[in-house]
Amino acid sequence: MKKTLLMLTAALTLAHTALAGGYVTNTNHNAAFGRNPALDGKIDINALYSNPAGIGFLNKGWHLAFNVQSAYQHRDVSSTFGQNLTPYGLYAMGTVNGTPNGAGEKTFKGYAQAPVIPALDVAYVHDRWSAMFHFAFTGGGGKCDFDDGLGSFESLAAMLPIAINSGINDKLAAMGATSPITAVDGYSMDMWMKGRQYYYGLQLQAGYKVLDNLNISAGLRGVIATAAYEGFVGNLKVHTAADLPAAVQTALGIPADQYLPAATLLGEKGAMAADREVDVTQSDFGLTPIISVDWRINDQWNVAAKYEFKTKLNLKNSVKDNKDGGLPSYADGVKHEADIPALLTIGAQYNPIKKLHLNVGGHLYFDKQAKQEDDRQELLDGPTWEILAGIEWDIEDWVTVSAGWQTTNYGLGENSKYISDMSFVTNSNTVGVGARFNISKQVSLDVSYFKTLYKHYRVDYEDYNNLSKTFGTAILGYNDFYRTNDVFGVGVNVSF
């Protein structure tokens, strides 16, 4: 029975470790990105985030851009657990939120939507000097709801039948029984979780044209990092076997063929199976120094580079109504390291003819140098890198059509321990299309749509949740991670 209690605690603690978040740097700030993500070498008000030094080559005067995007995402985790202990896996014995699990693999579905994601760019260009302001969501993983919880939560309940049977048979053996029995053959529980992670970026930048074709820029971004996590795991019950011998019912007081609160069979330690509820927010403020350079070689070629320094963050817990799940890591005031990694970008634009523009870019994130909770960055094999490309065609003076592509590759390696069902990213490819409509010489409108397809990534666990330390038996399992992302964008640009 002691092992059962330890497993409950271990599984809940693991769920928190996964909640600590991951490296998510958001670069899609506007509709212009949606139709051509390779903005790193482009000179445009909507490239202020990607190429701030390029702003110095805009026409003198004010330039403004206001953008709104709508994002819709699925995050699914298909999982098995304990298939080496029962033919159909331990999840097959469960009922969650009133719905019985099927045999074999179970899929935990997450859905996120953000109907309004705003961004604002303001720049003023005067002779050789330029000044800029940028607001957008520069990081965080957005928000997501898992209405039926996740495997890292359910695994604690899925272990109950086998663990309790073990404890009951130990008692029966002490009473002289010679054959083990199956007293518990199922479990039920209620669970759900939802989380959000938003990093608001407020950026001030200044530029200076050191040569007629060379501009440099330096700035500082203030990052307001906020996160919130709510979850519930409770109403843990176990189902006693219908054919339980009468002698066992009498000896142990376990009635046959009905659901009992798990605490009933855990005795004096039954409080460990009590409901656990979490309602925690986290926040911190960090600063990101930024430097960039843009070299306008001639009318056909432009190249640029940018470096963002690491942002130091320690997210501090704030617990609502004492709902910390009874876990030390969720206690009020506890801090969690969650640095934003440094970022190096390069980009170029080539205009083979006046109306055709070709763009390329590259990003390198220094992930392993950014501290994470429990030094999770050490579990990465290497940095994240991205390659971007785009094409724009000015069909007429009043309309430009464009399309682009981006590939993102995380340094996960094989069978990575860095990701979990609560916080995961996988390699992806993004394609986008859209257009710019020039309403007048001073006003234009951008519209775009892009879709990100994430590759499946499977992690096989020789010992799921490392439970052998407390249960004495390795428990096999796997998680197969998959996401999709659809983003629609519209933006208005004004110059005067």
- How would you write 85-117 as a 3-class SS string? CCCCCHHHHEEECCEECCCCCEEEEEEEEEEEE
Domain that holds residue 256: 2-495
Q: What pLDDT score was predicted for residue 18? A: 34
Taking only the tens place, the pLDDT of each residue in 179-200 is: 899 999 999 999 999 988 899 9
The rounded radius of gyration (Å) of the Cα atoms in the chain is 27
Q: Summarize the confidence of residues 407-435 as an average pLDDT.
A: 91
Task: Say yes or no to pLDDT of 21 above 50.
Answer: no
Task: Say yes or no to pLDDT of 456 above 80.
Answer: yes
Q: Which of 138-142, 262-266, 483-487 has the highest mean pLDDT?
A: 483-487
Task: Say yes or no to pLDDT of 236 above 50.
Answer: yes
Distance separating alpha carbons of residues 308 and 203, to the nearest angstrom: 12
Distance separating alpha carbons of residues 174 and 178, to the nearest angstrom: 10
Q: Which of 204-218, 329-343, 366-380 has the highest mean pLDDT?
A: 204-218
**Cβ–Cβ < 8 Å for 210, 158:** no
Task: Say yes or no to pLDDT of 6 above 70.
Answer: no
**CATH number for position 309:** 2.40.160.60
Q: What pLDDT score was predicted for residue 109? A: 93
Distance separating alpha carbons of residues 425 and 18, to the nearest angstrom: 12
Distance separating alpha carbons of residues 58 and 54, to the nearest angstrom: 8
Q: Where does the pLDDT of residue 23 fall: very low under 50, low under 70, confident under 90, or very high at 90 and above? A: low
Query: Which of 48-52, 114-118, 169-173, 463-467 shows the lowest per-residue confidence on average (mean pLDDT)?
Result: 463-467
Q: What pLDDT score was predicted for residue 11? A: 39
Q: Where does the pLDDT of residue 217 fall: very low under 50, low under 70, confident under 90, or very high at 90 and above? A: very high
Q: Where does the pLDDT of residue 66 fall: very low under 50, low under 70, confident under 90, or very high at 90 and above? A: very high
| β-pairing verdict for 457-461 and 477-495 | antiparallel
**Cβ–Cβ < 8 Å for 485, 71:** yes
Q: Where does the pLDDT of residue 466 fall: very low under 50, low under 70, confident under 90, or very high at 90 and above? A: confident
CA torsion angle for 206, 212, 214, 216 (degrees, to 10)?
A: -10
**Cβ–Cβ < 8 Å for 5, 327:** no
Question: Considering the chain, what percentage of its residues have pLDDT values greater than 70?
Answer: 94
DSSP class per residue in 268-330: GGGGGGS-EEEEEEEEEEEEEEEEEEEE--SSSEEEEEEEE--B--EEEEEEEEEEETT-GGG
CA contacts within 13 A on the Cβ side of 152: 21
Average pLDDT, the chain: 90
Task: Say yes or no to pLDDT of 13 above 90.
Answer: no
What's the structural domain count of the chain? 1
**Cβ–Cβ < 8 Å for 155, 465:** yes
pTM, whole model, 2 decimals? 0.90
Q: Summarize the confidence of residues 364-388 as an average pLDDT.
A: 93
Task: Say yes or no to pLDDT of 12 above 50.
Answer: no
Q: What pLDDT score was predicted for residue 470? A: 65
Task: Say yes or no to pLDDT of 3 above 80.
Answer: no
Where would I find the H helices in 47-159? 151-158
Which residues contact residue 44 at a Cβ distance below 8 angstroms, ignoring those fewer than 6 apart?
32, 54, 58
